[in-house]
Amino acid sequence: MNLPNYFLADVPADATISPTLVSEACVTLKRNRESYLLRRTTDQIIRTISGVAAEWLNQGNRFRRLALDHGPAVLGFSRETLARGLAGFFGQLTTENFHALIKQELGDARRLDHLASTDVEQQGNRAAIALGPEFLAHIAAGNIPNPTLMSMVLGLLTRSAQFVKCAKGTTLLPRLFAHSIYEYDPKLAACIEIAEWQGGDHASRRRFPSARARARPGASARARRRDRRARPPRRARAKAVRPRPRRSTSPSARAA
């Protein structure tokens, strides 16, 4: 499979992914986030992701063809199973579904962009904004692709720089998805890194000393407890603001 060398997963299989290389990539991801992702509106990000997903549903899409041609040998699923899985996953990434998801999770579809209030919050004179972490490290769960792909999608929605660490030999679909984003919007893809290496949880943790959050799809409850202990104590996700009443500056009001 011949793909451009855009991500660490594209380097030769015998290349060494050192902690220094990972740290430098993380610094670059954060810088790219500031330049290319942070100022985008939620609707702009949704349009890009939905556009990429629509292309994956096209039978002639080259990334889809590569996934179906190489997936059975790499992932262990039949071509038919992979085709159904790709159709099911990318078929749900629509503008309407994204807006419904954000409203369900945050109460208001505008809350990722600016202060917003639901009807109940307006009665209490309250508003809130939801803020994602600056940087996410995803530790992918084996050869099951959907949780990792969805984590990448949600990371983009929350405007987070992302480093996706896959187990050795399991980068196929995350890598193809990242390349499809790059083809559609290179600047957005510059906020994502894909890599693979052999190693346990401790080896991965040492490579991500600055990660504000680590996502591990499929991790056991015990492993999730270990991850919670490793996270920094401050994990702000939403900020509530109670607007102050404005003072009148009219002459009559000052005289009163």
pLDDT at 28: 96
Cα 135 from Cα 33, distance rounded (Å) = 9
Q: What is the pLDDT of residue 256?
A: 40
In a domain, 109, yes or no: yes
Classify residue 229: in a domain, yes or no: yes
pLDDT at 203: 53
- CATH code for the domain in which residue 145 is found: 3.40.605.10
**Three-state secondary structure along 238-251?**
EEEECCCCCCCCCH
Place of tokens 């262990």: 76
The phi and psi torsions of 81 (rounded to 5 degrees) equal -65, -45
What global pTM score does this model have?
0.78
Q: Give the per-residue pLDDT at 68.
A: 96
Query: Would 246 be classed as within a structural domain?
Result: no
Could you report the per-residue pLDDT of 69-82, keeping only the tens digit for each?
Answer: 999 998 889 999 99
Q: What is the pLDDT of residue 119?
A: 79
- Is 87 inside any structural domain? yes
pLDDT of residue 169: 86
Distance CA 93, CA 244 (A): 39
Q: In this structure, is residue 248 part of a structural domain?
A: no
Number of domains, the chain: 1
Domain for residue 2, yes or no? no
Q: Is residue 174 part of a domain?
A: yes
The domain in which residue 58 lies consists of: 13-239
Residues of the chain with confidence (pLDDT) below 50: 201, 213, 219-243, 245-256
Query: Residue 91 has which token pair?
Result: 């078929």
Assigned domain for 4 exists? no
